Amino acid sequence: MAFLKILEYTRQIISSYLTTNDLTDVSFTVEPSKPGFGDITCNIAFLLAKKLHKNPQDISQEIVEFCSKELGSDIKNITAHPAGHINFELDFINFSKSVLEESQSPHYCDIDIGKSKKIIVEHTSVNPNKALHIGHVRNIVIGDIITRILKKVNYDVHTLNYVDDSGLQVADLIIGFKHCGFSEDPPDNEKFDHYCGDTVYVGTTEKYIDDKDLESKRHEILKAIEDINTETSIFAQKITRKVLDAQLKTVWNLGVTYDCLNFESQIIHSKLWDNIFSKLKSQNLVRLEKSGKNEGCWVISSKDEDDKILVRSNGVATYIAKDIPYAAWKLGIINDPFSYKIFTTQENNQTLYETTLDQRDSDTNKLSFSGDKVITVIDNRQIRLQKIITDLMRRFTGSDSYIHLGYESVTLSSNTSSILGFETSDKSVQMSGRKGFYVDADLILGNLHDKIYNESKNRNSSLSDSELNSIAKSVSVGTIRYEMIKPDLDKIITFDLETSLKIEGDTCSYIQYSYARAMRILEKSNNLITSVNFSNFTSQFEINLIKKIAMYDIQVSDAAKNLSPKVIARYCYELAVAFSSFYEHVMVLNAESDELIKSRLLLVHSFSLTLRNALSLLGIDSPSRM
């Protein structure tokens, strides 16, 4: 029995007391205890003290006397702590049996929070003009892990990637290719997204400084891109899709996939904005200013900030006018103007679709990529814009159906800035694609891969090249993913090229190594796990590990309800630490008796399965050898 079930059972016992004594509207907590205070603790006595004008200790004693008659086979004892807490002690033999047997199932700790409701997660949304850098990776990893966690708790999740193929950055690429002499073919088989970002985009923006005529062409190109029938627009689509193809190779290498790509150019041509603008006006959510600095503009009122202009007096819609209809489409507030066609098959054989305005793609017309709830992963620099959209969607739906999942940016350490040729006195520096000042994801993954490959080869000379490459990929991708979500989302990550290559300490490799250790024990056991005597688990190291395995469902629930990948990352680390302590202090294969060996092998097996399941929520592999 995992901890959520035990906590719910304990809550029912306390609720029975409250019902019997006509005590309602009391919101109490039941949670795992700190060491020395039983296994589960409840704060109900403190909450009733003021209501009943009694001492918490007296109330807790009264509750203990009542609940002692209600205990089932899972609770061994209940006591009143002198301070007023009510502490429950588990029947550990029954508890360990339930936990270790249930944890053998691949569906261990599946929780039905979502009730199969459809939820949309949109993430990545990188301009198709350059390679992905380490800051983009944080967005991608957060979005992917949130998707995995929500699926675990039974949401029907669809993942979208918004491709801004009609913005200024794309115009800069077209200027570079058409007016600055850059070849469409990268030199020396350079990856196309690297070439566009490092050479064409940076080189073109530098030319703007001295060539003002070139700057004026930029706006002509931008206008031409938005007309789907122009030669410029067709060329832009060709270039952006080549960049996107290259970006997707990096994404797939990170173990990330999508369900659908949404192209901004198609959103513009779909007339979604006209639809939602009419809806905004009909519901009096926007107003036309008749005087003042915003005269002639359509604006949205805000309680906390200045009015936001949606349409300028010259009839031109502002940037937010692109995001509002997209958000409404994701929530199904307006009719879907798109058909869908297959973009490609991804590396895990999952089909990736794309939006299209060509109605001839009727074979996929029945697809839908809107949901009851939408989670948009965008960094906190967009927080003001996202707040406006969130408020608008709440007015449309009457609920908190649109969620902006924000996070802080990834900056570069002064040491890394120096390595890249940018001297600074600051401790950290923001990356800039326009200046070519960033660390691309492919470089980091490649460096990590090579370092881990060499270390694995030194430790395992008997492994084949294929096996070593498999380990190196698992650990390098796991390292990047773990480092991106280990801190709280509201904490800035200062990325350092040198320290990122370390694989010791609170790292993914430490967690993966604990899994590999467990697998080595199981390999040597020759499958000796048969009938088990659950009374054999008496040492504190065994008890701590079993309790930690049982905590998995609590962590999954917490992570899903709070949209917090860090919760699972921390749990994986704590589970690995508990196993390491067990490994160092408890004999398994050399235990005193066959009965003990079998019992401890079952515990090792349960640990390995639980850690592998938890790591899979982070998109991290569990290699059997390191």
Torsion over CA of 621, 32, 50 and 61, rounded to 10 degrees? Answer: 170
Alpha carbons 18 and 525: distance in angstroms, whole number: 51
Q: Residue 617: what are its φ and ψ, rounded to 5°?
A: -65, -25
Inter-residue contact 542 to 603 (CB < 8 Å)? yes
What three-state secondary structure class fits 485?
helix
The CA-atom distances, in angstroms, between 376 and each of 31, 131, 310 are: 32, 22, 21
∠550-552-557 over CA atoms, to 5°? 125
Alpha carbons 124 and 378: distance in angstroms, whole number: 8
Question: For residue 432, what pLDDT is reported?
Answer: 66
Bridge partners (DSSP) listed for residue 354? 261, 341
- How would you label 489-525 residue by residue, b for 16+ Cβ within 10 Å and e otherwise? beeebbbbbeebeebeeebbbbbbbbbbbbbebbeeb
Sheet containing strand 260-263, edge to edge, reads 339-345, 351-356, 260-263, 156-163, 118-122, 373-377, 402-405
The residue whose two tokens read 């202009």 is 309
The CA-atom distances, in angstroms, between 177 and each of 127, 186, 407 are: 17, 12, 35
Pull the structure tokens for residue 127.
């301009």
Inter-residue contact 171 to 221 (CB < 8 Å)? yes
Selection from 64, 28, 19, 20 nearest residue 46 by Cα: 28
pTM across the whole model: 0.92
Question: For residue 41, what pLDDT is reported?
Answer: 94
CB neighbour list of residue 598: distance below 8 Å, 6 or more residues apart: 528, 529, 530, 531, 532, 533
CA 573 from centroid of its chain's CA atoms: 17
The angle, 0 to 180 degrees and rounded to 10, between the axes of the packed helices 508-524 and 465-485 is: 130
* Structural domains of the chain in order of their starting residue, each with its CATH number: 3-90 (3.30.1360.70), 412-501 (no CATH), 508-617 (1.10.730.10)
- How would you label 210-246 residue by residue, b for 16+ Cβ within 10 Å and e otherwise? eeeebeebbeebbebbbeeeeebbebbbebbbbbbeb
Question: For residue 69, what pLDDT is reported?
Answer: 82
DSSP state of 298: E
Inter-residue contact 152 to 117 (CB < 8 Å)? no
CB-based burial label for 364 (10 Å; 0-12, 13-18, 19+)? middle
Give 183-228 pLDDT, tens digit per residue.
Answer: 999 998 899 999 999 999 999 988 888 887 888 888 889 888 888 7
pLDDT along the chain (626 residues), means of 10: 84 91 88 85 91 90 88 86 90 92 91 96 95 94 98 97 91 93 91 94 88 83 84 93 97 97 90 88 89 89 75 81 91 90 93 86 72 96 90 91 95 76 68 68 89 89 92 94 94 81 79 95 80 90 95 96 97 96 94 91 96 98 91
Alpha carbons 139 and 495: distance in angstroms, whole number: 15
Question: For residue 208, what pLDDT is reported?
Answer: 86
Selection from 348, 400, 353 nearest residue 374 by Cα: 400
Helix (H) or strand (E) holding 287: strand 287-288
Query: What is the pairing mode between strands 493-495 and 287-288?
Result: unpaired
CB neighbour list of residue 206: distance below 8 Å, 6 or more residues apart: none
What three-state secondary structure class fits 331?
coil
